[in-house]
Copies of this chain bind each other. A is one copy, B any other.
């Protein structure tokens, strides 16, 4: 059986590049006692993976040099020595960027095969679940409020926007480019969409957001950082909530030249009684069944839409990943093997 994997060849300095990855072939091991061998059909590419490429202490171990890139995959069981799993089962788990993975049965989850396999990676997977937790647990939405989210056509942003809209909020999308703005409104039902690439300065971007959020911002779900954050901060209302889910704009390094904007943020936190909460989805898996129960039927019925950007072939995963980091994807980035 010919198997392929992509390993971390070197650590990026600043922006990640193709040369940081290496495609290898290998002989997949047979599953041990309690394990399954999965043939991966779909691999998820997510912004958090950029963080794992750096040898920096974080909430999860970083990827060692020459080790397989970490990531979630979907596929079929091709050999099982784990109770409850049989050949042919559609499953998901942290397979990594490879065509075949051996995982303990306890770390693998069977999928409902009435939905597209890749749904488990996006709208009903980690990104969708992250959006649901971020909005509900830390955003605490109330009807009539205004929500802003960036990367609004991505799998987190689009989930946040659709759930907030269903909860009776005014929803404002920020996205890169006119096409994404169109999709944000037409596919995901945002009330307004702002192309952050259309503005040269934070001030101009802020004016556009202010116009789209005439009553101010009550919830800013943070998944980008950078200029969007700087534009949004002064527009937050008293008692606004800011769930911090990601800071993709800063994953390859931030512009740290002055002025120091922390004192002003701190003043805003105090004066406006802001509530800022970091969210790492691993802390919340206990709520995943409740998420599936609520959102699964809405996805099946089409009431919650999703959008995927599918790259073909494991060998193209690095290029698709780098493109995604620059916002070049249109919807949840998946690799079909």
Which residues does A use to contact B, with CB under 8 Å? 58-59, 222, 225, 229, 238, 244-247, 250, 254-280, 283
Among B59, B238, B254, B266, the residue within 8 A (CB) of A247 is B266
The CA of A280 and the CA of B259, in the complex, are separated in Å by 27
The CA of A278 and the CA of B238, in the complex, are separated in Å by 10
Given contacts A262-B262, A263-B250, contact A274 B271 (CB under 8 A): no
Whether the pair B259, A261 counts as a contact (CB closer than 8 A) is: no
Among B58, B238, B261, B278, the residue within 8 A (CB) of A269 is B278
The CA of A265 and the CA of B269, in the complex, are separated in Å by 13
The CA of A258 and the CA of B255, in the complex, are separated in Å by 11
The CA of A225 and the CA of B275, in the complex, are separated in Å by 17
Closest beta carbon of chain B to A62's beta carbon, Å? 12
Whether the pair B263, A272 counts as a contact (CB closer than 8 A) is: no
The CA of A250 and the CA of B275, in the complex, are separated in Å by 20
The CA of A156 and the CA of B278, in the complex, are separated in Å by 26
22 example contacts (A-B, Cβ-Cβ < 8 A) are as follows A59-B238, A59-B273, A222-B266, A225-B266, A229-B266, A244-B266, A247-B270, A250-B263, A250-B266, A255-B263, A257-B258, A259-B260, A260-B261, A261-B262, A265-B265, A270-B280, A271-B280, A273-B278, A273-B279, A274-B276, A275-B277, A276-B276
A254, A257, A263, A266: which has the most chain B beta carbons within 10 Å?
A: A266
Give chain B residues whose Cβ lies under 8 Å from the Cβ of A229: 266
Whether the pair A254, B263 counts as a contact (CB closer than 8 A) is: yes
Whether the pair A247, B273 counts as a contact (CB closer than 8 A) is: no
The CA of A311 and the CA of B232, in the complex, are separated in Å by 44
Whether the pair A273, B280 counts as a contact (CB closer than 8 A) is: yes
Whether the pair A269, B258 counts as a contact (CB closer than 8 A) is: no
The CA of A276 and the CA of B263, in the complex, are separated in Å by 14
A58, A225, A261, A271: which has the most chain B beta carbons within 10 Å?
A: A271
Q: Which residue from chain B places its CB closest to the CB of A225 in the assembled complex?
A: B266
Q: Which residue from chain B places its CB closest to the CB of A249 in the assembled complex?
A: B263
Among B256, B260, B269, the residue within 8 A (CB) of A256 is B260
The CA of A273 and the CA of B268, in the complex, are separated in Å by 20
The CA of A318 and the CA of B204, in the complex, are separated in Å by 43
Q: Which residue from chain B places its CB closest to the CB of A229 in the assembled complex?
A: B266
Give chain B residues whose Cβ lies under 8 Å from the Cβ of A259: 256-258, 260
In the A-B complex, list the 4 residue pairs whose CB atoms are closest, starting with the nearest: A258-B258, A254-B263, A256-B259, A273-B278
Closest beta carbon of chain B to A53's beta carbon, Å? 15
Closest beta carbon of chain B to A85's beta carbon, Å? 33
Q: Which residue from chain B places its CB closest to the CB of A222 in the assembled complex?
A: B266
The CA of A277 and the CA of B278, in the complex, are separated in Å by 12
Among B263, B272, B277, the residue within 8 A (CB) of A273 is B277
The CA of A256 and the CA of B278, in the complex, are separated in Å by 25
Q: Which residue from chain B places its CB closest to the CB of A255 in the assembled complex?
A: B260
The CA of A254 and the CA of B273, in the complex, are separated in Å by 20
Give chain B residues whose Cβ lies under 8 Å from the Cβ of A270: 244-247, 278-280
Q: Which residue from chain B places its CB closest to the CB of A58 in the assembled complex?
A: B271
Give chain B residues whose Cβ lies under 8 Å from the Cβ of A267: 247, 250
